[in-house]
Structure 1
Amino acid sequence: MAPKEIEEMLQREGSKVSPDKYDESAESVDARQRRTELLIPILAACREVWTSGSEDLELMVEKLGDGSRDVAWRGPFGDSGILEFFLRVLAGNGLKQGLKIHILRLVGNSCADTDENRARVIQGNHLVTVINHLQDESLIPFSIPVLFNILVDYEPAQLAASQANLNQRLIDLLSAPSLANYIVFVPYFCKILALLVSQEGEAARASPRTVEILLTLATSLPSRDDIDDFISLVSVAGAYLADDKFQVALIQGPLMQLFLSTFYHAHTHFNLLEIDDADTEASLKKLYSSLLVSLADITGNDLFAACYPLHSQVAQNFLAWLQSSNLQLQTAACLALGNLSRSDEVTTSLVQVYFAHAPLIRLLSNQDITDAQLLHSALSFLKNLAIPLQNKPLLGDLLDVACVPRLYSLDTSPQVQFAAVSLTRLLLLNCPANVARICAPLSADPASPARERSSVNGIITLYERSDAEPTRLEAARAVAAMCRMLHSGPVVPLLADWEPPVVEGGITSSEPEENQRREYFYSKHNVARALSFLISQQKWPSLRSEAWFVFALMCRSKEGSRVILELLQIHGTMTDLIKAITGRETPLSDAGSSDQIEEASYSLAAPDGQITSMAEGLGLEPQQADPRQKESMIRVDRENALVMCTELLRTWGDQIPGLRLSILQDLVKEGTEIVAAQKAMAS
């Protein structure tokens, strides 16, 4: 059969529609079989011509290659054996260039969106044949698209290509001096590599130079100025960087600066606001996300901190990015430096030597910055910096009302709220100067309503408003940290501006000044509900222990114990108290409804001095539990709760309603007996 006849038959019997409009279901059920039968004599003619060595084979396969663009012929080409025949021809030696080109065209078109033909390529071990033709650079315009058509959307072919070390062939070509001759096909190289990287074992088989070559190309002309090529190259490099092998090589080798240069170029050379094409914009956003993940993985690797101390150029780059006006670079710097700050030595240097917190204070105080990712990254980094005790006072400006406290009301970003209140708690812990800052009135004007409010109100409001348990928990812990400090040392410096108003007639209270200041502060800040959450939650026993310790401290003063009395009126808290002292889930005797006690329904009773003196005889003091020792923690919780009840009876026994008074007295009595018995056993 002559080439002209082949051409006419393929056109006459084809679908006569473009590939995107062809619908096999719209044809008759025997259409494919009929086309396959029409190809049988063509295959016989091709074999005969091949055997005879005639040059007509090239023209015949050219016509077949043209016909393979019609989707209707793809299945029949495989069914008839034509595809298999020409794949075997392609494996031979001494073929003319034109013949190779047209066979590759036929193979590529036949495999486009046709899994059964792709399967024939793999099952016949023909993929290696196509890969081997990459050695001929003049065939790259054909062999690369053919490989893509075989691999795309067909995982068995992708795995086979990975196992055939296709990555190494492609990387060799991308690093060849003659790359300029086929550089327009770099996007296809990237698409193929993106298919390979997802295959199991690919990282081990891939060229060690993969990331280096891809990033070098991305940051060199012409790719550095071509947004599509840049995105393609860097995206594939990032995919390979997800594997530990490439991360370690990047960290330990000379490529870290190349990665940072790529990261910087991506975020400074291309502007999302100037991109008109929606697909390109989406691809660039995806690249930004991918690069940030790669940076997190790399800087989070244990090797990174050892290889790049703070004085290294790499770490200095991050510190420079922190000062940048580019929000994405600032986000990246916070993430990277946060991963670096894993020890007190590093975190103290970041604050006291490099002043890394200064630009972050400016950032968090800028109300125009609402980017949730940046805010969260900055807060997370600062949480690391706030851990060493010596750093806390130096970070005090973060507690200015226009800085971190403004974020408590950012309801549209719950993660930012959580990070903000969590950072606040860390700053308050064991730091009187910061407690004084958070407690300071919001206004110095005596006539202003803000004079009677502080940032503590913001924390309490966040606790009441938030639906997120972790946020509520951090808010409650922040309040507890503040209360602990207010009851652990001199109060006047902490509440310097909270002077109780002079009562009518100029009569002043006989209470010490610090007690008056605390009393006035608590009258403006309803902390009871937030504190109660710490003992009602069941997930974290160590935080319940923290609360019982703080409650015991607070009850040593009249104003603090008043807060705890209010707390015990909140639903469920009496049951929590009973369990802490007795270990029982159910209330004492007939106090099953103690949470619903109506205070006015009972007459006032006198405190039982004998019971309180029994507890005092044990010499108990507020103490912190070791959360690592469960049994010890239960014992300490009991003793702290017992101290709390004893102090409540001593201070308020003559004002506690009868049933509630009876419950507290019974608890002290039973708790005293339990503690005494335990001490006797221990001795």
Structure 2
Amino acid sequence: MILSDNLSEALKTLKLSSADSTSDSVEGCLDCLLKALAHNNVDTSGKIQEMGVLAMIPTLLSAQNSCTPKVAKLIAEVAKNEFMRSPCVEAGLIPPLVQLLNCKDQEILLQTGRALGNICYDSHEGRSAVDAAGGAQIVAEHIKSLAEAFWTVNCLLNVMKGLLLHKCFKDSLQAQLISMGVIPTLVRLLGVHSQNTALTEMCLIAFGNLAELESSKEQFASTNIAEELVRLFRKQVEHEKKEMIFEVLAPLAENDVIKLQLVDAGLVECLLEVVAQTVDSDREEDVAQLKTASDLMVLLLLGDESMQKLFEGGKGSVFQRVLSWVPSNNHQLQLAGALAIANFARNDGNCIHMVDTGIVQKLLELLDRHVEEGNVTVQHAALSALRNLAIPVVNKSKMLLAGVSDVVLKFLKSEMPPVQFKLLGTLRMLIDTQGIN
């Protein structure tokens, strides 16, 4: 009750004293409001809105005095509530907050970044307001300034913690940052400040957000991002840190140029090491990391150049390691191994070499194991691999002699609807009489 009475009194006093933003009464009111928000954020935020306090905040922010960090913190706390984000935008809080990004004061930057980040979280209206106020331009300039040693690392971190950690920059804001050349600057920062854990994490979060846009791939490809990420990955021992890097690698590896860069940088060896370390573990985090690493390996093989580089005429160590996944007892590795073969089999020369070296038998044994186990994803992957291997005319008769048609027919008789279409496609490719005498 006392806290509620104090809150009501503070709200009234703030309305009366807001014209003089330097007064002690204003600072006292802000302290009271922050204390009330810490005690009950939802109810206090509702009362702040009811009393019309938000409309006074632009004036308080524009003054830029000793109270400014507390005003920005007040907004950050209020904007944790989804129902308060639109009122914050409507009250005109975004423009003065964006202008505070030009400030050098550490605490102001931290609280301003938090305030903007919270207002923009899951809010298209908030992000549009930041866009209109030129927020992307200011942040881009700050990032470049740090790269040129005009800003301290801590200053930039305070901005990035709010804006990038909360994924404030989405849609057009991300596109603006890309067009302003932020990506090469961030990559350079990652290399220079790789020992700064906080800045490294912020860069990774920024990369993860920016890499979602297709327009970013070309800019990433023009940097040494592959080398920096692989170097950073090799240093990590914590699962969470590796996951952060994986979240950046996955969208980047969708680009064929970056695929090849990642292969050249040694990512494949890192992935194989992760698989070796986690394959026998039942820990949930290890199982997840095994899946991520093997899935990423398959993704790298979707690029023609990266695939051929790893195939190495069928004699490459990476190719041989991936083949060893097929007879594994781990379903995830069986799946990844079969998908990898399907990717290697996108080249006729590769197909002929693989059939001649007995890969068909490995796939048939894998399928035979899954007649009863019935893992549909593994079945689909193995059948896709067999279908691709059957494309070269010279392979068809060899695969028929190896008994592929018998296994396919066995599956058809087992009445498993999910794989019927895939089975028929494989059988059709296999018995296509073109070239079979």
* 1:295, distance to aligned residue in structure 2 (A): 0.9
Equivalent in 299, 302, 313 of residue 335 of structure 1: 299
Aligned partner letter, 1:127: I
Equivalent in 189, 211, 220 of residue 250 of structure 1: 220
* Contact 1:174/1:213 (<8 A) preserved: yes
Equivalent in 169, 183, 198 of residue 211 of structure 1: 183
Change (3 A) 1:357 1:130: closer
Structure 2 counterpart of 1:439:
401
* Contact 1:108/1:146 (<8 A) preserved: yes
> C-alpha distance in 2, partners of 1:153/1:171?
22
Change (3 A) 1:42 1:433: closer
Greater gyration radius:
1
Change (3 A) 1:136 1:336: same
* 1:46, distance to aligned residue in structure 2 (A): 0.5
> C-alpha distance in 1, partners of 2:245/2:310?
33
Change (3 A) 1:168 1:407: farther
> C-alpha distance in 2, partners of 1:140/1:163?
20
Q: Residue 328 of structure 2: SS of its match in structure 1?
A: coil
Equivalent in 354, 357, 363 of residue 395 of structure 1: 354
Q: Residue 426 of structure 1: SS of its match in structure 2?
A: helix
Correspondence 1:134 to 2:101? yes
* 1:429, distance to aligned residue in structure 2 (A): 4.2
Change (3 A) 1:457 1:325: farther
* 1:246, distance to aligned residue in structure 2 (A): 1.0
Q: Residue 424 of structure 1: SS of its match in structure 2?
A: helix
Structure 2 counterpart of 1:292:
250
Structure 2 counterpart of 1:190:
164
* Contact 2:11/2:48 (<8 A) preserved: no
Equivalent in 209, 227, 240 of residue 239 of structure 1: 209
Change (3 A) 1:438 1:326: farther
* Contact 1:318/1:333 (<8 A) preserved: no
Equivalent in 108, 114, 121 of residue 145 of structure 1: 114
Correspondence 1:102 to 2:66? no
* 1:240, distance to aligned residue in structure 2 (A): 1.5
> C-alpha distance in 2, partners of 1:63/1:121?
20
Equivalent in 470, 476, 480 of residue 421 of structure 2: 470
Correspondence 1:406 to 2:388? no
* 1:250, distance to aligned residue in structure 2 (A): 2.2
- Give per-residue Cα distances to partners, 1:495-523, cap 9 Å, x unaligned: xxxxxxxxxxxxxxxxxxxxxxxxxxxxx
Correspondence 1:424 to 2:396? no
Change (3 A) 1:90 1:340: same
Q: Name the structure with the higher helix share.
A: 2
Structure 2 counterpart of 1:457:
406
* Contact 1:439/1:455 (<8 A) preserved: yes
> C-alpha distance in 2, partners of 1:59/1:322?
56
Aligned partner letter, 2:50: D
> C-alpha distance in 2, partners of 1:132/1:418?
55
> C-alpha distance in 1, partners of 2:110/2:247?
32
Structure with the larger RCO, 1 or 2 (CA within 8 Å, 6+ apart): 2
> C-alpha distance in 1, partners of 2:78/2:332?
49
Structure 1 counterpart of 2:279:
none
Equivalent in 431, 434, 437 of residue 480 of structure 1: 431
Q: Percent identity?
A: 11
* 1:131, distance to aligned residue in structure 2 (A): 1.6
Q: Figure out how many residues of one structure are paired with residues of the other and give that number.
A: 405
> C-alpha distance in 1, partners of 2:406/2:266?
36
> C-alpha distance in 1, partners of 2:361/2:338?
17
Change (3 A) 1:39 1:422: closer
Give ranges in structure 2 of 5+ residues lacking alignment: 276-291
Q: TM-score, normalised by structure 1?
A: 0.50
Correspondence 1:82 to 2:82? no
Aligned partner letter, 2:363: V
Residues 258-407 of structure 1 correspond to what in structure 2 (within 5 A)?
A: 258-262=225-229, 265-266=232-233, 268-270=234-236, 275=239, 280=240, 288=246, 291-296=249-254, 298-299=255-256, 304=257, 316-317=264-265, 321=269, 324-327=272-275, 331-340=295-304, 352=313, 358-359=319-320, 362-368=323-329, 370-372=331-333, 374-385=336-347, 388=348, 390-397=349-356, 399-400=358-359, 403-407=362-366
> C-alpha distance in 2, partners of 1:293/1:376?
22
* Contact 1:421/1:475 (<8 A) preserved: yes
Residues 106-185 of structure 1 correspond to what in structure 2 (within 5 A)?
A: 106-113=74-81, 115-116=83-84, 118-138=85-105, 139-175=108-144, 176=146, 177=149, 178-182=151-155, 185=158
> C-alpha distance in 2, partners of 1:322/1:58?
54
* 1:156, distance to aligned residue in structure 2 (A): 1.5
* Contact 1:463/1:472 (<8 A) preserved: yes
Q: TM-score, normalised by structure 2?
A: 0.74
Change (3 A) 1:319 1:367: same
> C-alpha distance in 2, partners of 1:353/1:404?
17
> C-alpha distance in 2, partners of 1:333/1:437?
27
Structure 2 counterpart of 1:595:
none
